[in-house]
Structure 1
Amino acid sequence: MDIVVIGAGYAGTLAANRLRKKAPDTHITVVNPRDDFIERVRLHEQIAGSGTAARPLAEMLADGIALETASVDKIGDGTITLDCGRNLDFDYAVLATGSIADPLPGAIPIGTWEGAEQARTALDGLAAGGIVTVIGGGLTGIETAAELAEARPDLRVRLVSDIVAGSLSAGAQQHVRRTLDRLTVDIVADQVVEINRKTLRLRSGTELDSDLTLWAIFSAVPDLAARSGLAVDVDGRALVDATLRSTTDPRVFAVGDCAAVPGMRMACATAAPQGAHAADTLARMIRGQEPRPFSLGYAGQVMSLGRHGGLYQTTNRADVPYRLFLSGPIAAFVKERVCRFAANASRTGSTVWLRGPKR
């Protein structure tokens, strides 16, 4: 049996390695545009020069898994067409292409390896007094702004967003703002609508100078599912049933950011369990057993705030924040452990998660 995994992020790598253990007689091929595994949760460290986010896929994939360094042009009827024109036949496929950014022209998207490297190079070229603007007030934008402000205190760092840390409790939001203020990050409550060279025009009409503008908003997904004729939602995510199988083609599983699963947020905390469930379901089907529905409950949200600070927001299983949160070095320790757990889970194919809330 031939199984092709498209994408080698947290979800795809974990799915391939888990399936290798649970269905060792299958032939598994992973298709990925690069031969590195990218820890997206560490890309802000890559940009600031305080850490690295890449490791060779050869070290991450189990023995016996084939790696094709290529992009996929189309998923057809039991056949995947690569950008080189070559075809790969499959009995089942796992779509795990993740998410992408759709930035304004002039901004560098920092959620990809290419964008992070471009941002790092540009940052290295900035002289003291240069201005760096991070667009986006979610966890990625906050982590990036804090990391840059701590690593390059000679620069002016600002964060532009209508809402900052909107997924956190009120107390946690206040802590984030106090920390950014301590790191001298300017927060501008507005929206960038146009970038003209080194000038940002805001929705309010205000104009700001910016030597380097980084885009930290990630809500788009690659159009592979749509252009392959799979059913997608309005955002281009593949529509799936309760077992994470495409509603168009039951031979195709969709996991991670590119899958339209109600109640799920874009995060490695989502991608890893979905990749594991897809592997478990495939293994069950190979044994002639019925697939089981996917269920996931969250346990919290965690972010770094520089190298020695962080925040862990407790939530219920539906990802609604409680009032309780942890901060400071202990939260930074938790964040580092979460990052290591996520990478190790992908490498070993072993992970655990909570069941979702009753609906």
Structure 2
Amino acid sequence: MRIVVVGSGYAGTLVANRVAKKVEDAEVTVINPRPDFVERVRLHQQIAGTRSAATPLVDMLRDGITVRVGSVEKIGDGTVALADGERIDFDHAFLAVGSTVAPMPGAVAVGTWEGAQQARTALAALPAGSQVAVIGGGPTGIETAAEIAEARPDVRVRLIGSSVAGGLSEGASRRVRAGLERLTVDIIDDDVVEIVAGTGEFDDVVRLRSGWDLSSDLTLWAIVADVPPLAALSGLAVDARGRVIVDEFLRSVGDERIFAVGDCAAVPGARFACYTALPQAIHAADNFARLVRGRKPKPHSFPYWARGVCLGRKDAVTQLTHADDTVREAFFGGRAAVVLKEMASSSAFSSARAGRSAL
């Protein structure tokens, strides 16, 4: 039985390992644009130079799984078409291409491996006294700004967003902002309307909706809000954001041979996160195994309980949530939150490699 997994992030890597383990005659091929597994939850550390976020796929996947490095242009009708002209046939497929970043011209996207590498090189070359602008007030922006500020106290870091930490409860938001301020991050609650090349001392001018212009030597775009267009270009049913519309069993509503998991799947109530992607991957792989054995698949459901955000290596905030991911008033920070966030990040890595929950 020929199984193709498109994408090898958290969801794709876990699916490939779990299917290879649970379905004896499965011939699993993983197609990924790079030969490495990238821990997206650690890209801010990659940028700041405090930790590597990449591990070779050969060290992540079970023996017997075939890795094909390449870009997929279309999936459907039992075939995956690659950019180099190769076609790979499948009996079943898992689409796990994750999410991506569409930066404003002039900014470096920090939510992708390539962008993180570019940002790391540029940051390392900045002299003391330089200015870094991080655009995006959500977790990616907060963690990027905090990590850089802690690793490079000799540069000035500005975090720009319409509502920095606005997705948290009032108390947790205040705690995050206080943590950023302790790291001397300047918080600017505003929208960026344009980034233009500087004509003087600085590389960029960041123009805000309020009318202010900010100088920047390095401008980083930290808003993860898009998905790759593969599903839409392939003619699969997608929602307004381009995510694959799936049934309750995580199968594409237009082609039951294709499962979709992670950020690229339009699962009601799900948000972009490895915290979401891993349980989906487990469930999709298990449903596939059930179908192979002639059993009925089970509907997917998953309760949330928390959100976490790092504030450098020594501080963090954990926001407790209801099962539907709406925030509670309760939160905690400090060392306990640091330990919990690191446990979650390490468990995500272990889960993907083991093909099961690490908890």
TM-score grouping bracket, smaller chain normalisation: over 0.9
Same amino acid, percent of matched pairs: 58
Structure 1 counterpart of 2:227:
221
Alpha-carbon distance, 1:352 to partner: 6.9
Distance 1:203 1:93 in 2: 44
Alpha-carbon distance in structure 2 between the residues aligned to 1:21 and 1:303 = 33
2:201: which partner in 1? none
Aligned with 1:280 (options 286, 293, 304): 286
Letter in 2 for 1:254: A
Q: Is the 8 A contact 1:300 1:319 kept in 2?
A: yes
Contact (CA 8 Å) 2:135, 2:159: kept in 1 or not? yes
| Partner of residue 176, structure 2 | 176
Amino acid in structure 2 at the alignment position of 1:221: V
Query: What is the DSSP-based 3-state SS (H/G/I as helix, E as strand, rest coil) of the residue aligned with 1:279?
Result: helix
1:250 CA displacement: 0.8
- What is the SS of the residue equivalent to 1:250? strand
AA aligned opposite 1:92: H
In the alignment, is residue 207 of structure 1 matched against residue 174 of structure 2? no
Which residue number corresponds to residue 193 of structure 2? 193
Cα distance in 2 between the residues matched to 1:112 and 1:241: 28
Residue identity opposite 1:104 in structure 2: M
State the alpha-carbon separation in 1 of the partners of residues 46 and 102 from structure 2.
21
Matched, 1:107 2:107: yes
Code of the aligned partner of 1:84: D
Cα distance in 2 for residues equivalent to 1:118 and 1:24: 42
Measured after TM superposition, the shift of residue 302 of structure 1 is 1.0
Tell me, in whole angstroms, the C-alpha distance in 2 between the residues paired with 1:70 and 1:155.
38
Partner of 2:267: 261
Give the aligned partner of residue 90 of structure 1. 90
Structure 1, unaligned runs of 5 or more: 354-359
Give the aligned partner of residue 329 of structure 1. Answer: 335
Matching of residue 160 in structure 1 with residue 165 in structure 2: no
| 1:232 match | 238
Could you state the TM-score of these two structures normalised by the residue count of structure 2?
0.97
Aligned to 2:308: 302
1:76-155 map, 5 Å: 76-155=76-155
Measure how far apart 1:336 and its partner are: 0.8
On the 8 A contact 1:311/1:332 being kept in 2, the answer is yes
Q: State the Cα distance separating 1:238 from its structure 2 match.
A: 0.8
Partner of 2:45: 45
Quote the residue 1:16 is aligned against: 16
Query: How far is the alpha carbon of 1:313 from its aligned partner?
Result: 1.1
Deviation at 1:301, TM superposition (A): 0.6
1:292 aligned residue (285, 291, 298): 298
Structure 1 residue 118: deviation in Å? 0.1
Deviating above 6 A after TM superposition, structure 1's stretches of 4 or more consecutive aligned residues are: none
Residues of 1 paired with 2:266 and 2:148: CA distance?
33
User: Structure 1-normalised TM-score?
Assistant: 0.97
Note if 1:73 corresponds to 2:73. yes
Task: Report deviation, 1:167.
Answer: 2.1
> Bigger shift: 175-184 or 313-322?
313-322
SS in 1 for 2:256: coil
**What one-letter code is carried by the residue in structure 1 that aligns with 2:81?**
T
The 8 Å contact of residues 11 and 256 in structure 1, kept in 2 or not, is answered as yes
Taking the aligned partners of 1:65 and 1:326, their CA distance within structure 2 comes to 42
Q: CA RMSD in A?
A: 1.0
- 1:82 is displaced (CA, Å) by 1.1
Within the alignment, does 1:248 sit opposite 2:254 as a pair?
Answer: yes
Q: Deviations over 1:178-208 (max 9, x none)?
A: 1111111011111111110110111112111
Superimposed CA distance per residue, residues 140-173 of structure 1 (whole angstroms, 9 cap, x where no aligned partner): 1101111111110000000001111122111110
Q: Contact 1:273/1:352 (CA < 8 Å) preserved in 2?
A: no
Letter in 2 for 1:179: G
Kept in 1: contact 2:169–2:327 (CA 8 A):
yes
